Structure 1
Amino acid sequence: MSYPIGRWRITWMETWDQEFVDLIEPGHFRFDENGLGFFIFGAVEGQVDYRLSDDGQRIEFSWSGNDDGDEKSGRGWFELTSSNTAKGRFFIHCGDESAVEVQLQA
């Protein structure tokens, strides 16, 4: 499996505590081979469209979805910190933002 393909568990977010992150199901991002993906944490979920940097160490994405039923969109990025961990930022358009850390699930 090559970065970033797979399911990445959200292990920490600066703005929201882990109880909120795991409100509906364990918070995570999923990146598929076709440049698309999905995420869910708390009451926020969305479809992801991502691009990988030339060196393969950074992923940038835009997303559209909802926050507690209200239509939302945004963007974000991750940088690989090891073979199975990454750190980045998540942005809700005209709304909250947060640092985020994720870990690849086996």
Structure 2
Amino acid sequence: MTLKGKWRIIQLEAFDEDYLDLVEPAYIQIDERGLGEMAFGALTAALDCAYTQSGFDFNWDGSDEGDQVSGDGWAELQDDGSLLGEISWRNGDETSFKAAPWATSSTAC
């Protein structure tokens, strides 16, 4: 399974389930160049990623309710096809997360 693409964040340890999709469905996304983005709650951020043997490490910069925020994190591909990782804020909190491949709809319009 490839790491590049869009992943649905389905769990954030430090936040309750209602917060995840506060503004839009929570996700983390990475492309083949190691650039990406993530969004959950009121946070949106750009990612600068480096692929590792089993996942990727990333630095992020973004906005949370209008405040400038940044941090780093990592994610590893699991045997069941999910991602497990951690998101850390600079001089602040951290949370573990779990993500699943983004489901695409095959329904014709």
State the 1:65 CA deviation: 0.5
User: Which residue identity does 1:19 align to in structure 2?
Assistant: D
CA distance, structure 2, for counterparts of residue 25 and residue 82 of structure 1: 28
User: Which residue identity does 2:9 align to in structure 1?
Assistant: I
- TM-score for both structures, normalised by structure 1: 0.91
Task: Compare CA radii of gyration and give the structure with the larger one.
Answer: 2
Match of 2:65 among 64, 68, 74: 68
State the 1:64 CA deviation: 0.4
CA distance, structure 2, for counterparts of residue 94 and residue 45 of structure 1: 18
SS of corresponding position for 1:34: coil
Q: Please name the residue that 1:80 is paired with.
A: 77
- TM-score for both structures, normalised by structure 2: 0.88
Q: Please name the residue that 1:101 is paired with.
A: 98
Q: Where in structure 1 do 4 or more consecutive aligned residues deviate above 3 Å?
A: none
RMSD: 1.2
User: Which residue identity does 2:43 align to in structure 1?
Assistant: V
- 1:1-106 equivalence runs, <5 A: 3-53=2-52, 55=53, 57-82=54-79, 84-106=81-103
User: Which residue identity does 2:60 align to in structure 1?
Assistant: W
CA distance, structure 2, for counterparts of residue 105 and residue 83 of structure 1: 14
Q: Work out the number of aligned pairs and report it.
A: 103
Map Cα deviations across residues 74-98 of structure 1 (whole Å, 9 max, x no partner).
0000111136301010011112210
SS of corresponding position for 1:3: coil
State the 1:33 CA deviation: 1.5
User: Share of identical aligned residues, percent?
Assistant: 35
Specify every segment of 5 or more residues in structure 1 that has no aligned partner in the other structure, as ranges.
none
